A and B are shown apart, each in its own frame.
Chain A
């Protein structure tokens, strides 16, 4: 099936002398070459590389003009230019040139265009005076195009040269030319040609025949509206029931729906916009998971707290959630995902992701100012190079994990840094199951005065008669069907037009003009961003405020002519906001935008007609009742089934599997969970016994060093360093802390220059626990997000949460069963901690359907992933506590209990991977020495299979009191350093503290508080027997468990020796214990439960291992 618009492009060969180009080269070595050489290290035959930038200018120009323009583009100290010729470096064998496809945003070219216009004194951003512009916007034969040229020397054949080219470009957005020197000498540079759209004759508006049988209706929903040539326009993602509802609706109206109406309904009703799975009736939960468990938790917490304690101001109703910061300001937070676009074009997907969530901030209330970005990436191992394909016969190859990873990282660098928003916090998490669909979480914190122009700033209302105004970028074909597309699994039908490219500076310009100026001048009455669904969603959403809208389609500014009306209406072209501007304010608004070089256009009027009406060329093309548009979507009733640990391994066996399938090797056992639970008690003792016996075989020192180098625990300093975290001058506790520059799990910023108040940001994520139990997975994510913030200095009374569910196969009842459990935990634990949810987002189909390197079909589904983000307020940032140990002689304490909870832990995962490796390398040749290994393996296997049901469980009641006591200790300035225990357990937490402080530690596990596993506890907030389930008698845990168990509720702190008394007094009655001291020297030692030294290394070795994994990045 061919998707998308059948437009093609050709090259216009210059026959009118109107195509010119300017090549810019550096006279000194270009640092880009070094980076490229690193990237192309595998091509041994490359002897030299050089690069240049070429700008094609499609415009009749005199030689004199061209020379002047070249001067604008060149830094004379280090660069030189040539006009209408390229200078091949000597010995060049291959010339690789990469440009953008037509219709794809080309930021550099746009800047060049702007510079030229400015220079020639024709600058005029108003489109009404089009004819004074140097370049006509809607002409097909004028423009600027940027090209990146790579000149390669070396003995390479054509296929190698092409392969190099393909490594550097993305065919979804770019075009490439690879020529040998000979070919190049004959044909010349790609810059001589201009990519040109040849538009098909567009049907203005199609009426859609809905009088179809079920099969055809389904096809309409899945593949979209048919074009005349038989191709389809791309998924509407409407199911049969929804289509039938539409069918009936239009039958009643006595007419056929027009394409724009159907597309508009599809956008508004999409999973992406409506969150149908979270809001539909599920089993006995009539109101749906979202209302009962997420919103329900917040409502309950707000009821329990009195007005002064209620920190929520605007929750779940706007583009972001807002809590009180101080007497004068609110802070907002929102975390989004941008998974599918990032899989296809990692760089562009990530740029648009971060810019999109920035706009959620700008679109909050009357417009909040973005003050911090947050990122979270879930990738497959970047060393995994086995190909995956979207289509059979090895076609439509997916990008490799490393390319996705580097592209996404770079995209957020571009989007965040260029926008001048600091990125103080983020994480990377790796699991093979993110190979088909990576998860890209991006978040933005904002700040806004509580009262603006004597009105509460979080309230807004478009009024009938207000102009509908769009501000920012123009509409193109980019991002058509993004919303409907991301509501489905990634497969060969995923349309390429869903990819967009971001333009941070266009956004920065309107962000400043709106939030720093127009807002406080009271020039608009309401504002929202254009994200999923484009104008179709933003305008119709705002139309709810006034009661209707009337849009004049031809007034919407477009990037190029000949877009179909439905495309204009649903396009997700980036960097646009929709506002309602009172007519009498329009002149002032328009003038301000003009002076800020921001394009603003009136595209219609808000009304109170109860309808969304669109006219085009004076003809009515859309006429939909707002009620039907917003509330006409048929209610779904979903059924879940209890989750069985083994389902997804066996289910996936139905599809022919390759090594790609990670479930198969990961969970080989065939017992059911139920039977396991019955046997677990008796086997517990056995595990202990066995683990004691194998203890000797384990070299804990070596294991800790290996653990620190694991992808999920290692330093990702290279990411933190390229994300500006100092801009805006607010960074207090930075992403890299201490002498040893350890990546922190919480950050602190001080958003107001004149106030000591700070914002603490953190997160929790434990996808591996989902394989065992999603209830506890969610509980742990919440506890981790809360505890990370608390450890740094947050107060539970001023802490809020955000939820981001990334699920898979959400039409599968068992996956829904897992979802239901996770959502239930969200309620239980948010209420137990008194930390309300203020915003959330979900992405329900993170599955990949495609083919492996042998052409066999594979399905890769992510492990159900829940990211909990936390945002809190600290009264005085000077009380914030960093993670690095500070002074030799300081005492180290553990707060909270350790339990036998290695299930789903990083250590268990490490053991599993090791086993697999050993299994695969056990060839007959080395079989002789493998008997011992075999015994160890089976022992390990046994342990892993048994302990894996011991997923960490959270006792929120105890923890809450502990966290409150801890905050008291922080207020008294007793804590010198703190680190909550997370992935990798106690050993890793201790090591990170030592690395951060670059000081040794002398640790003993002798007095460590432990408890038995609370296996059956399911509901800590209501279950009175919860604490009874926890046996506080000091159970003897193995050293392995003490080292690596990921029991929640634990914080490691160091204190000055003179504070010992007052510190211990505060924690009297709580499970806590002194476990060691900070050393003068670099020795790092741990004494086991029975008093013998079990681990001995030094800070240098720890540091080296912690940093080695990404040291080449």
Chain B
């Protein structure tokens, strides 16, 4: 079996391309980090990939609103190929800044397959400040990306992750079952006694999909939870396991998402 090919977009301040690429590689894909300008130059190469990832970062320094400037660049130079890609049986993920980019583009929620109209926003965190911590998530809908996962904990790191949609859109998101992830109070919030919603997101929404479930946008970072030793509570878990004579697991919770993408193509 040939390995699924993953294209990891980078450039202009995207900064999570290496860990995202590693996540896919470790899960069994072949990753290639491609600068957006190289993709614009040879936009035909997109068709050689099964997975497209918009990683986290600070494209254009979040100036004029996170993801906006990068989305403009994609829209003006790559939109046609992008639409070809999402309309095929392929997978797209936008993580953090990537989620901001794909929601600006309209790749999510893309009601009635309109992949080019912006319906939701990720605005400034409610306390106006960047936040780096872990959150707990509950899976809400069906998407290949989250298959078999009921809940998981991942880190976030963003200044503009406050999900917003107007009441009409919100209702539609619910009706069409496009809300993929919600912030909940789970094991990490319990562990460090933190509120479940880190940024003021409406209805605790942390991630959404398109109607096919192939395109997932989420604020939390599976790429920052590749190893068990990245969990905030791993030193405690280690002591507990050691005293039971058990070994420390290797993988972090984020790996499940990368593995799901590979499973989808096998």
Residues on A close to B: CB < 8 A? 24, 26, 28, 30-32, 34-35, 53, 72-73, 75-79, 107-108, 110-112, 114-115, 118-119, 121, 413, 417-420, 503-505, 508-509, 512, 595-597, 720-729, 731-734, 736-739, 741, 750, 753, 877-878, 880-882, 884, 886-887, 973, 976-977, 1056, 1058
Contacts and interface: CB of A to CB of B under 8 A. Distances in A.
Interface of B: 10-13, 15-16, 18-19, 22, 26, 35, 37-38, 41, 56-58, 60-65, 68-69, 72-73, 76, 104, 118-121, 123-133, 155, 157, 159, 162, 164-166, 169, 191-193, 200, 221, 223-227, 229-230, 232-233, 235-236, 238-240, 242-243, 248
A28 B129 contact: no
A732 B37 CA distance: 34
A596 B11 contact: yes
Contacts of A505: 12-13, 58, 60-61
Contacts of A115: 60, 64, 69, 72-73
Nearest to B25: A753
Contacts of B155: 726
A1058 B18 CA distance: 42
B64 A112 contact: yes
B235 A107 contact: no
Given A77-B164, A729-B19, A729-B223, A118 B120 contact: no
Contacts of B159: 417
A509 B72 CA distance: 18
Most chain A CB inside 10 Å of its own CB: which residue of B62, B130, B191, B235: B235
A886 B193 CA distance: 16
A418 B97 CA distance: 11
Given A28-B164, A31-B127, A114-B60, A724 B19 contact: no
A28 B58 contact: no
Given A75-B68, A77-B119, A750-B229, A418 B13 contact: yes
B128 A108 contact: no
A732 B231 CA distance: 8
19 contacts: A35-B129, A75-B104, A77-B121, A77-B166, A110-B63, A111-B64, A112-B63, A118-B72, A417-B58, A417-B130, A420-B13, A503-B61, A509-B11, A722-B132, A728-B15, A729-B224, A739-B191, A886-B240, A976-B239
Given A722-B132, A886-B239, 20 more contacts: A28-B164, A31-B125, A31-B126, A34-B128, A72-B64, A111-B69, A118-B72, A417-B58, A505-B12, A508-B13, A508-B15, A727-B224, A728-B18, A729-B19, A732-B230, A739-B192, A739-B233, A741-B192, A753-B26, A886-B235
Contacts of B68: 72-73, 75
B98 to A, nearest CB: 13
A108 B63 contact: yes
A505 B60 CA distance: 6
B236 to A, nearest CB: 5
A720 B132 CA distance: 8
B35 A596 contact: yes
A509 B230 contact: no
Most chain B CB inside 10 Å of its own CB: which residue of A72, A78, A720, A739: A78
A1083 to B, nearest CB: 19
A887 B126 CA distance: 36
Contacts of B166: 77
A418 B61 contact: yes
Please name the 10 residue pairs, one residue from A and one from B, whose CB atoms are nearest each other, closest first. A420-B15, A111-B63, A729-B19, A35-B128, A77-B121, A882-B235, A31-B124, A505-B61, A886-B239, A726-B155
Contacts of B120: 77
Contacts of B193: 739
A815 B264 CA distance: 69
A1056 B243 contact: yes
Contacts of A77: 118-121, 164-166, 169
Most chain B CB inside 10 Å of its own CB: which residue of A78, A721, A726: A726
A115 B232 CA distance: 39
A598 to B, nearest CB: 11
B226 A729 contact: yes
Contacts of A738: 235-236
A877 B192 contact: no
Given A32-B128, A112-B63, A118-B72, A504 B58 contact: yes
Contact of B229 (A30, A417, A732, A737): A732
Nearest to A513: B35
Nearest to B22: A753
Contacts of A508: 13, 15, 58
B58 A420 contact: yes
A332 B243 CA distance: 37
Nearest to B223: A729
Most chain B CB inside 10 Å of its own CB: which residue of A76, A110, A597, A722: A722
A115 B64 CA distance: 10
A574 to B, nearest CB: 14
B157 A727 contact: yes
A733 B132 contact: no
Given A118-B73, A884-B236, A34 B127 contact: yes
Contacts of B13: 418, 420, 504-505, 508-509
A877 B235 CA distance: 11
Contacts of B233: 739
Contacts of B76: 118-119, 121
A72 B41 CA distance: 22
Nearest to A733: B235
A1093 B38 CA distance: 71
A412 B58 CA distance: 15
A723 B133 CA distance: 10
Nearest to A753: B22
Nearest to B97: A420
Contact of A723 (B69, B132, B226, B238): B132
A34 B128 CA distance: 8
Nearest to B125: A31
Contact of B118 (A75, A721, A880, A977): A75
A727 B72 contact: no
A753 B19 contact: yes
B63 to A, nearest CB: 4
B35 A724 contact: no
B163 to A, nearest CB: 10
Given A595-B35, A881-B235, A31 B162 contact: yes
B61 A75 contact: no
A738 B169 CA distance: 40
Contacts of B58: 417-420, 504-505, 508
A310 to B, nearest CB: 30
B64 A73 contact: yes
A724 B159 CA distance: 10
B129 to A, nearest CB: 5
Nearest to B70: A115
A727 B12 contact: no
Most chain A CB inside 10 Å of its own CB: which residue of B120, B129, B193: B129
Contacts of B248: 878
A639 B45 CA distance: 69
Most chain A CB inside 10 Å of its own CB: which residue of B120, B129, B227, B229: B229
B37 A595 contact: yes
A79 B121 CA distance: 10
A54 to B, nearest CB: 12
A407 to B, nearest CB: 14
Contact of A31 (B15, B119, B200): B200
Given A31-B125, A31-B128, A741-B192, A595 B38 contact: yes
A35 B129 CA distance: 9
Nearest to A53: B64
B245 to A, nearest CB: 11
Most chain B CB inside 10 Å of its own CB: which residue of A31, A75, A111, A504: A75
Contacts of A1056: 239, 243
Contact of A721 (B119, B133, B229, B235): B133
A1103 to B, nearest CB: 9
Nearest to B62: A418
B131 A722 contact: yes
